[in-house]
């Protein structure tokens, strides 16, 4: 096997590995831990391009004969000096690093791991993450039997609506599913329920949710998924000289549920 063929096989192998990793993240649903779900079609397209490019690399590696200007066939045209050849192999092998890092990446993200120091009061100011979100429409937000239902599809929209415009919803019944969080700053009659919100990718991920007040904390472990039923309340507090209302849930019941396949929420 000449140097040219080995280099082409190396290039094709790396391309196939990237395609395999891309497809694996989608099949295993770990892709949601890295990027917004709207990027999945682009990842599928990239995997397809890598496979096609890898096949082309193998084809040209197998058929490396080349007609020179002088009309002869140069079998040794690609027999490069060892230093140059090994340099190209090393350059290609560098791409193995992100492939290996994937297998060590933490894809089991939780509200607790992201928000150990979460401030449960969402700051009501123009630069606030909540107020900077611009969901396409609130037209689908309707009370169901006079109850706010925050499920996988409506969680982000209802979250924004309540934090920005809480007054019309005070004393309304609410059902919300999310991850249980028990912070050190919370007392024995408080816990939080929330999810991880992603705007583009894991780099901008943040924990969002509500403080819950109850007579006794639920007997579940932190990080487990629960459904809370209760009544939406709001308490006033002052931020930057302005009095605002901070929503919280007065708990009626808590039950354990299964973690959804895609536990992340998206503001748009």
Q: What's the confidence (pLDDT) of residue 113?
A: 59
Going from N- to C-terminal start, the domains of the chain cover: 3-104, 111-256
Pair 23, 105: CB distance under 8 Å: no
Inter-helix orientation angle 3-28/82-93, to 10°: 0
Contacts of 124 (CB under 8 A, 6+ apart): 131, 163, 239, 242, 244
According to the model, what pLDDT value does residue 117 have? 45
The predicted structure's pLDDT at residue 154 = 87
Rounded to the nearest angstrom, the gap between the alpha carbon of residue 58 and the centroid of all alpha carbons in its chain is 35
Pick the CATH number of 111-256 from 3.40.250.10, 3.40.50.300, 3.40.640.10, 2.40.50.140: 2.40.50.140
Q: What is the pLDDT of residue 182?
A: 86
**Cα dihedral 100→104→110→112 (10° resolution):** -130
Please, what are the averages of pLDDT over each run of 10 residues along the chain (268 residues)? 75 92 91 90 96 91 58 49 64 80 72 53 38 47 90 88 90 94 85 90 85 90 93 86 88 93 84
pLDDT at 136: 43
Three-state DSSP string of the chain: CCHHHHHHHHHHHHHHHHHHHHHHHHHHCHHHHCECHHHHHHHHHHHHHHHHHHHHHHHHHHCCCCECCCCCECCCCCCCCHHHHHHHHHHHHCCHHHHHHHHHCCCCCCHHHHCCCCCCCCCCCCCCHHHHCCCCCCCCCCCCCCEEEECCCCHHHHHHHHHHCCHHHCCCEEEEEEEEECCCCCCCCEEEEEEEECCCEHHHCEEEEEEEECCCCCCCCCCCEEEEEEEEEEEEEEECCEEEEEEEEEEEEEEECCCCCCCCECCC
The predicted structure's pLDDT at residue 105: 73
């Amino acid at each position: 096997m000449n140097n040219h063929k080995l280099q082409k096989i190396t290039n094709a192998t790396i391309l196939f590995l990237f395609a395999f990793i891309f497809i694996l993240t989608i099949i295993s649903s770990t892709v949601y831990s890295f990027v917004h779900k709207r990027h999945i079609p682009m990842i599928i397209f990239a995997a397809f391009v890598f496979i096609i490019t890898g096949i082309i690399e193998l084809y040209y590696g197998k058929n490396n004969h080349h007609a020179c200007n002088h009309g002869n066939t140069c079998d040794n045209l690609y027999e490069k000096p060892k230093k140059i050849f090994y340099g190209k192999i090393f350059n290609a092998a560098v791409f193995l690093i992100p492939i290996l890092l994937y297998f060590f990446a933490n894809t089991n993200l939780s509200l607790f791991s992201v928000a150990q120091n979460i401030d449960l009061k969402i700051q009501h100011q123009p630069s606030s993450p909540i107020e900077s979100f611009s969901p396409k429409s609130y037209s689908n937000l309707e009370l169901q039997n006079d109850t706010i239902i925050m499920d996988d599809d409506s969680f982000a929209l209802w979250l924004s609506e309540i934090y920005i415009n809480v007054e019309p919803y005070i004393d309304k019944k609410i059902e919300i599913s999310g991850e249980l969080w028990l912070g050190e700053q919370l007392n024995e009659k408080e816990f939080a329920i929330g999810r991880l919100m992603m705007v583009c990718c894991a780099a901008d991920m943040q924990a969002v949710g509500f403080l819950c007040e109850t007579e006794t904390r639920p007997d579940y472990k932190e990080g487990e998924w629960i459904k809370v039923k209760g009544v939406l309340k709001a308490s006033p507090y002052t931020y930057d000289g302005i009095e605002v209302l901070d929503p919280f849930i007065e708990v009626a019941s808590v039950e354990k549920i299964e973690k959804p396949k895609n536990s992340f929420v998206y503001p748009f």
